[in-house]
Every structure is written in C-alpha cells, then in structure tokens.
Amino acid sequence: MGDSDAVRAQVVARIAAVDETAWDACAGASMGAGNPFVHHRFLRVLEDSGCVGGRTGWTPHHMVLEDASGSIAAAAPAYLKDHCYGEYVFDHGWAEAFERAGGRYYPKLLVAVPFTPVPGPRLLVRPGIDVGQARRTLVDALIAETQQAGASSLHVNFCTGAESEAMVQRGLSARTGEQFHWANRGYDSFDDFLATFASRKRKAVKKERTEALAGGTISVDTFTGDAITPALWDAFFAFYMDTGGRKWGRPYLNRTFFRLLGERMADEVVLVIAFKAGEPIAGALNLRGSDGLYGRYWGCTEYQRSLHFEVCYYQAIEYAIAHRLARVEAGAQGPHKLARGYLPARTHSCHWIADPGFRAAVEDYLVRERAHVEAEMADFAEHSPYRHAGGDD
C-alpha cells in the first residue's frame, strides 16, 4: 500500500462478515505473529457466544481497509463501548472527570480484544503492504470514525511498542503499564530454571510446590486438544464462575464461549487441572501461540494453600520449557508473580480525546503516570528472585 493506492475504510459490524483467511493474513503479518487472541476464530467465538454484541456494551465496530483491488490490506478489532468494564486499562477516573465537567464520555471507540489483557498487535497489516503507511491510514480512519460515531475518544489497548510509536506520530497519547512475564532462557527442565534463583528464593518455590500437592493427595495434569472432555470444560466453567463472581460480580464469559472455544480452538488451549480423589478442584486456562503461552483464567472450588501458584505459574513454566516456548505471559497485574520468576514487562496503550481541553488534561496525567510506571518497574527488577552477580548463591 503506497501513498498513491486507492484505500477504502469500512466499518464491519460482525467479524463473521470478514473473510477469515483475509483477516488472519493481516493478523499473522503483524509483530505478534501467532498471537491467538487477534485471530478471526477467537474474535468470532466471542461474538457467536453472545459475550460481545447485543446488550453487552461491546458493540463490534471493526475497521477494515481495502486496497484498490478490493482486498483487505489492514484491519483493527474495534468496539463501541458504553461502559469501561472488561478492558484492564482503566479509565474510570477519566470518564468521571469528563462527565463532572459536563461532557459525555460514552460511547467511546475501543480497539482491543474483549476481556483480554494480553499484549499484541492491534493494527493488523497484510504481508507485502507498507506497514508504516497502513498504520497511518488505519489510525486516521479510526479517528475519523470516532468523530463520525459521536464518540468521546479512541482507545487502543495492549498494542505493541512499535504501534504505540506510530500512533503518537498521528496525535494519540501514549500510556504505559506493567505486567509480569516469564522468559525462557533455553532451560532444559524446571530444575534448570530454578537453579538460576538465589538459594532462599529457590527453597521457597520448592516449598510452595510441595505444599500445593497437600502431601500427595492432590495431583495436577495438563490437557489440550481432544483430551479436553466436556466434563473437564464443565469443571473449568465452575471454577471460572466462582472466581468471576467474586472479582467482578458478573463474569464476562458464558458456558457457550467455552464450548465454542473447545470446538474451534482446542489445539490452542492448554488446560491445567488439579484433582483430589479423582475430582477436579481447581484449574487454569491458557492459550498457546507460536512462541508463547498466555495465562487467562483461574478458579477453584476447594482452597489449598499454594495451589494457585502451582496451577497458574509453575505448570505454565513447565509446559513452556517442555515445548520450547519463548515466554509465558500470566495476565494482568500481580507483583506476587515476581517471586515465581515472572519479571516486570512494559505494556502500551494509546488514546485520543476529541475535546482539546480534556485531551491536554489527560496528556498531563499520562506524563506523570509514565514516570511512576518506570520507577516502579525499576524497583521490581531490583527485587528479582534470580541470582545477582556477587550475591546469594
């Protein structure tokens, strides 16, 4: 796509209306190649299950760019939102401030994967296309659509660093956050990984892993593909509902979502289940990409000390080592992950506010927030469990 190519920007109200192969060609060409959350199948499962669309407050509003031949050149998963739930980049305070000043914050236009704080590409570009030009055109189209739809603002959550830089050049404000990710440094086993810890931290992890299994009365297994039976999906849904009910009041996903995920993406699902006396008591759902494992949901119906760490973090590391995956991303927030070998990682989002005065206020806030995030990440890095040169063995 060069500057002289004819481009048509089109808003699509259902992901099913976009050719799957064409969409995935754009998703696969982006920096997060292999990230399952931006693939057509995952976005369609969200819509087909009714978790987005209808009266959920997530109205699909996907942006698609077509080249002169009518082929899809670039795309962005987008939604008109009338609330701020399920996003994990929190702008509640912005909404309250704008409305106190007499503005109307909703609807807003959000480019993101619903209910999914997994970083990855958001401005999807087909192979062979000029990425820089395509991103500029896509961002301009999204800003124009924000204005056309009467939305207060445009938000692009959990994008890549390169996408953030491109959007800042088009007038968006950059926001940073932090998560905790595990990096595979070529380990041959979990013990090989653990050997890189300071001795005191290493002993603490071993104690947790022993404690989680409650003297051998609890076992943990990993399932993927056809090995995930309907009974296991039922058990996991009960875990999810328990956690979702306590955290959010009303869980975002329904049983149909998990059924469709199992039917359409089972080979990308890595389900970790803990059993006691042969009965499932806890579990964690991960999705596997081409080079990473992404932890998403956890729940339990019976509490056991340290079981959460075993099922969510240590089993994910074991799986990544065994399958030569480069990293594990364990979801949003969670400084407690640091002691388990997950280090701070910067996340990115970008924001454009239609009202000039409010835009300036948000930018001022973001300058201070970015400085705080950088300082906090540096502090966390100083408390890494890994051995330091000249330090604890």
* Structural domain range at position 254: 185-325
In a shared domain, residues 222 and 264: yes
Q: What is the DSSP string of 316-367?
A: HHHHHHHTT-SEEEEEE--GGGGGGTPEEEEEEEEEEESSHHHHHHHHHHHH
CATH code of 305's domain: 3.40.630.30
Residue 278 is predicted with a pLDDT of 96
Would you place residue 28 in the very low, low, confident or very high pLDDT band (cuts 50, 70, 90)? Answer: confident
Question: Is residue 330 one of the residues assigned to a domain?
Answer: no
Please indicate, yes or no, whether residues 312 and 350 belong to a single structural domain of this protein: no
pLDDT tens digits along 352-371: 999 999 999 999 999 999 99
The answer to whether residues 104 and 40 belong to one domain is: yes
Q: Taking the alpha carbons of 206, 207, 212, 215 in that order, is the dihedral positive or negative?
A: positive
Handedness of CA 169, 170, 173, 177 (dihedral sign): negative
pTM of the model: 0.95
2 pLDDT higher than 80:
no
Tens of pLDDT along 83-108? Answer: 999 999 999 999 999 999 999 999 99
**Quick one: CA torsion of 193, 197, 200, 203, rounded to 10 degrees?**
0
pLDDT value at residue 51: 98
Least confident residue range of 125-139, 143-157, 218-232, 379-393: 379-393
Buried b (16+ CB within 10 A) or exposed e, 310-334: bbbbbbbbbbbbeeebebbbbbbee
Q: What mean pLDDT is reported for the chain?
A: 94
Same domain, 138 and 199: no
Burial of 335 (0-12, 13-18, 19+ CB in 10 A): middle
Residue 60 and residue 12 share a domain: yes
How high is the pLDDT of residue 7?
Answer: 83
pLDDT digits (tens, 9 = 90+) for 309-366: 999 999 999 999 999 999 999 988 789 999 999 999 999 999 999 999 999 999 999 9
> Can you read off the two tokens belonging to residue 323?
């399958």
Q: Are residues 113 and 216 in the same domain?
A: no
Does residue 388 fall inside a structural domain?
Answer: no
d(C-alpha 186, C-alpha 141), whole Å: 42
